[in-house]
Amino acid sequence: MKTHRIALYPGDGIGTEVVAATVPVLDAVASITGRFDLSYESFDWGMAHYDRHGRVAPEDFLDVLRGFDAIFLGAVGWPARLPDHITLTPLIRLRQAFDLYACVRPARTFPGVVGPLRRSDPIDVVVVRENSEGEYIDNGGLFATGTAQEVAVQTALHTRRGVERILRFSFALARTRRHTLTMITKSNAQRYSYVLWDRVLAELAPEFPDVRTDKLHIDAATLELVRRPHTFDVIVGSNLFGDILSDLTGGITGSLGLNPSANLNPERTTPSLFEPVHGSAPDIAGKGVANPTGAMLSGAMMLEWLGEADAATLVRDAVEQTLAAGVATPDIGGLTTTAQFTDAVLGRLRQG
Ligand code: NAI
Ligand code: MG
């Protein structure tokens, strides 16, 4: 039997709570299908590590992770104690060093969950975020820091190779879905970077005649995703725009707590990383009420990536049935705790 080796990186706040809720669900489907085992090693990186060692992750954390089949992360960040740009550094470094260039963030409406838009058309979109370059590379500097003349320079980087590979990935994904790809830029105002995106899209489109392509600027996209979200299928954008839009798609489908994500190295030269879209939610951390749906569905994405599609389907079905039955954490209007939600999902799995 195959054993998949998983690195657990629960992180901070509700990150630890949603990881603790997901592991038993993954174990349950492994034992139900009887086709694979999961072995875990858990790392205390984040504030816990910082308190003991003065840094959020050890220097060699990338080497430690390289040997695993996949990485499962909760969330990192505790802004009241440490600035976010410090706590989030390992995560951003990981995405870049492991070339996890395709960040895939599905968002959909679930029967049983009422979204904020009060409309009946189901939403089913996937935001593909370029995850390795763009606006988030560490490229800039400060001048005359702390003075009235202070200057900050931060320059985005967009390469033809980077743009082409994320667009190819998105076209291929659209082919497995409703054959519609919308690219988000701001090429009317950012005249170099996003004009390159426009050109590469135009070059690639003829290779995918079965995929309808569309383009929107980021400002219009935020409007249209509220006005006609059901018309979108695959949405692709740069690191910054993909980040923004995936919070929006999370919001319009009901709660950020529902949304999973995968940070993929499609060439599989490094372990890919799976994590809910949400952060560490200090406002509800420690109360036992975090919605573990996004984490559990991230677990399903991880199983699928590891070749366990049947097990992934079992997780998705059990989570969907649980939501449809009205089992709801406070973020989606209920009173259920994280532990009760997890028990309900496990109960569905055992019923078959
Ligand atoms: P957040 O996603 O942690 O929370 C935003 C709002 O959504 C809060 O009101 C929170 O209670 C709610 N929420 C989020 N996930 C939920 C869940 N599973 N169940 C119920 N409610 C949920 O974003 P925020 O507050 O901007 O950031 C908090 C910290 O998390 C910061 O340090 C931030 O940098 C970090 N962060 C980390 C991410 C990561 O690890 N990938 C991603 C986003 C933020
Ligand atoms: Mg974000």
Tell me what pLDDT residue 300 has: 98
Q: Answer whether residue 264 is part of any domain.
A: no
Q: What mean pLDDT value characterizes the chain?
A: 96
Give me 118's structure tokens. Answer: 């009060």
Q: Do 134 and 73 lie in a common domain?
A: no
DSSP state letter for 80 = T
What is the domain extent for residue 218? 115-253
Residues with CB under 5 A from ligand 2 (ion): 243
Cα 80 to averaged position of ligand 1 atoms, centre (Å): 13
Q: Whose CA is nearest to atom 12 of ligand 1?
A: 281
Domain boundary among 210, 229, 253: 253
Q: Do 10 and 98 lie in a common domain?
A: yes
Q: Do 123 and 40 lie in a common domain?
A: no
Smallest-distance ligand from the CA of 246 = 2
Q: Answer whether residue 259 is part of any domain.
A: no
Q: Answer whether residue 241 is part of any domain.
A: yes
Q: Answer whether residue 191 is part of any domain.
A: yes
Strand ranges in the chain using DSSP code E only, listed in sequence order: 2-11, 36-42, 70-75, 102-108, 124-130, 140-143, 151-154, 180-185, 212-217, 234-237, 260-264, 272-276
Q: Do 68 and 157 lie in a common domain?
A: no
Q: Answer whether residue 36 is part of any domain.
A: yes
Q: Do 64 and 185 lie in a common domain?
A: no
Q: Do 121 and 214 lie in a common domain?
A: yes
| Distance from C-alpha of 350 to C-alpha of 352, rounded to nearest angstrom | 5
The stretch 15-28 carries a mean pLDDT of 98
Q: What is the CATH number of the domain that holds 334?
A: 3.40.718.10
- Give the residue, out of 88, 278, 298, 341, with the most ligand 1 atoms within 8 A of its beta carbon, to mutate for a pocket test: 278
The stretch 80-100 carries a mean pLDDT of 90
User: Quick check: 28 pLDDT over 80?
Assistant: yes
Tell me what pLDDT residue 118 has: 79
The stretch 340-350 carries a mean pLDDT of 97
Q: Do 133 and 242 lie in a common domain?
A: yes
Tell me what pLDDT residue 96 has: 86
The stretch 82-88 carries a mean pLDDT of 89
User: Quick check: 352 pLDDT over 90?
Assistant: no
Smallest-distance ligand from the CA of 278 = 1
Q: Answer whether residue 82 is part of any domain.
A: yes
- Using one digit for the tens of pLDDT, what is the confidence trace for 139-157? 999 999 999 999 999 999 9
Q: Answer whether residue 132 is part of any domain.
A: yes
Domain boundary among 198, 228, 253: 253
Q: Which residues are catalytic?
A: 136, 186, 219, 243, 247
The stretch 31-47 carries a mean pLDDT of 96
Domain boundary among 253, 281, 316: 253
125 close to 108: Cβ distance less than 8 angstroms:
yes
Q: Do 200 and 285 lie in a common domain?
A: no
192, 126, 125, 139: which is closest to 163 by C-alpha?
192
